[in-house]
Amino acid sequence: MHTLSTVEKKYLLDSIREIEDFPKPGIKFKDITTLLGDEKAFNLLMDHLTNRYKEMHIDYIAGIESRGFIFGAALAALLKTRFVPIRKPGKLPYTTISEKYSLEYGVDEVTIHIDAFSMPNNQKPKVLLIDDLIATGGTATAAVNLINKAGAECIEACFVINLTFLQGDLDIKKTTSVYSVLEVD
């Protein structure tokens, strides 16, 4: 399996703009729009992900709202497979199922269509979950649980960036494997 070199990882990381104090004081926001606008960086990332997942026979890629849609839909097209959006409540027009998760102060929720992962002959679909960044892991853990609740198997959760100091990947690793392209301490 192809791995990125230190130089390639540095190039990708350098293509991501950091915004101080956004969305609130003390936060260093990782703005991936600059990576998306850098043709070399975006193609390097997508080629890497395509090479990583092309032999896994993935039936669906599920992307978490909203930046996971960008990477997930692009990767699904490159792998010639299906894409499923995982959204906040009230955003999907058909019957949905949901998974709640705890926030620092309160609860949030993610949803998918009840028939999002249909397969012929009652096969259990293999799903790759993707998002731009994992921080505390609440949304991603809920998304993995939601995929499994919908009758599919989440074979891996993939993130462009893992903020390792927040250890958000630890809960997810209890239910599926985790791959991060870039790790930031």
Number of H helices, E strands in the chain: 6, 9
The candidate with the shortest Cα–Cα distance to 104, out of 139, 71, 78, 77, is 139
Name the residue with tokens 């494997």. Answer: 177
The residue from 20, 39, 55, 104 that is catalytic is 104
CA distance 160 to 31: 12
* pLDDT for the residue 99: 97
Strands 96-103 and 106-113, sheet pairing: antiparallel
The candidate with the shortest Cα–Cα distance to 148, out of 90, 52, 62, is 62
* pLDDT for the residue 1: 61
CA distance 93 to 111: 11
Name the residue with tokens 């599919």. Answer: 152
Helix, strand and coil in the chain, % to nearest 5: 35, 35, 30
67 labelled catalytic: yes
CB atoms within 10 A of CB 179: 15
* pLDDT for the residue 104: 74
17 labelled catalytic: no
Q: Which residues of the chain have pLDDT under 70?
A: 1
* pLDDT for the residue 103: 82
The residue from 67, 82, 109, 183 that is catalytic is 67
Tokens of residue 20, six digits: 């101080």
Domains of the chain plus CATH, in order, are 56-184 (3.40.50.2020)
